[in-house]
Amino acid sequence: MSRIAAAFNRPGHVALIPYVTVGYPSLESTLEVVPLLASCGCDIVELGIPFSDPLADGVTIQQASFRALENGVTPETCLKIAGQLREKVKIPLVLMTYFNPVFSYGLGKFVSACARSGVDGLIIPDLPPEEGLELEAITRKQDIDLIYLLAPTSTPERIRLVAERSRGFIYLVSVAGVTGARNKLPADLEAFAARVRQVARQPLCVGFGISTPEQAKRVASIADGVIVGSRLIQLMEVENNFLGPVGDFITGLRRALDEPVGKKR
């Protein structure tokens, strides 16, 4: 069983999946915060490779990506950091990137480097499944999960295609837009998750806009995992004093997810 599969193999347990931009606010910060996240009850960590045109990301993560690029962070740097983190934590590590850096690196070369660094999965928001066959074949050979995304606007045909091809889990984007902390989640989120449940057997994880324990608890009633990014990045803005606030935030989310919720199916 893969590490990602094992993260969803605990009955009644909802996975907590934080996102951090590698190199924001510094590489040392990334090496410090990921072990903290694991110790506070996170099940998977999503490591963002900074990119100059992050089309799926809102202002908070865009700014973090820009800062990391200013710090000289490259895909090679991120792979090195992932390898160092693999020695520190046992939970799955998933890289979030865009297709251009992967293509420029070379598909086979990039996936092989991921395997050597102990990376368990890849999320590439601008890679639709219709164009992912080559990368799917390469990642399967290296036992790395290629995780596809669905949005509330996804057609029944796209939902079926992603359900056939996504490995590890399916990333449900809560809103048709970009990442970012929001005051409330969309009213039709439950209906969206139910549509995907009808055809998908993979765990469903919801991201985009989740920033409070109350929102996390609502998502826990319909999903197998909760993805949190922008609010966490905001808490990391103070480079020398973020561990306490981050730990409190993640502990609060974990506590909310561990409270009894209704059945997902």
pLDDT in tens, 161-192: 999 999 999 999 987 544 444 456 767 899 99
When pLDDT is cut at 50, 70 and 90, the band that residue 59 belongs to is confident
Q: What is the mean pLDDT of residues 145-173?
A: 97
Q: What pLDDT shows up at residue 212? A: 94
pTM here is 0.93
168 contacts 4 by C-beta, under 8 angstroms? yes
What would the pLDDT profile of 194-250 be if each residue is shown by its tens digit? Answer: 999 999 999 999 998 798 999 999 999 999 999 999 999 999 987 678 999 999 999
Q: Which residue has the tokens 């710090």?
A: 71
Rounded to whole angstroms, how far apart are CA atoms 94 and 167?
12
Q: What is the DSSP string of 129-181?
A: GGG-HHHHHHHHHTT-EEE-EE-TT--HHHHHHHHHH--S-EEEESSSS----
Domains by residue range for the chain, with CATH? 14-256 (3.20.20.70)
Strand order in the sheet with 204-207: 145-147, 121-123, 93-96, 45-48, 15-21, 225-228, 204-207, 170-173, 149-150
Average pLDDT, the chain: 92
Model pLDDT for residues 67-86, shown as the tens digit of each residue: 999 999 999 999 999 999 99
Residue-level pLDDT at 180: 40
Residue 261 pLDDT exceeds 70? no
Question: What pLDDT score was predicted for residue 208?
Answer: 85
Least confident range from 43-52, 55-64, 194-203, 231-240: namely: 55-64
Closest C-alpha to 195, from 148, 166, 162, 167: 162
**pLDDT (tens digit, 9 = 90+) per residue, 225-237?**
999 999 999 999 8
The owner of tokens 């990506």 is 65
Active site residues: 46, 57
Average pLDDT over residues 47-63: 83
> For position 262, what pLDDT does the model report?
52
pLDDT at 97: 96
Residues 133/161, Cβ–Cβ less than 8 Å: no
pLDDT exceeding 90 applies to what percent of the chain? Answer: 83
253 and 202 Cβ atoms separated by less than 8 Å: no
Return the residue matching tokens 């009633």.
221
Euclidean distance between CA atoms 176 and 34, whole angstroms: 29
Reply yes or no on whether the pLDDT at 128 is more than 50.
yes
What's the chain's length in residues? 265
Whether the Cβ atoms of residue 61 and residue 114 lie closer than 8 Å to each other: no
d(CA 123, CA 92): 13
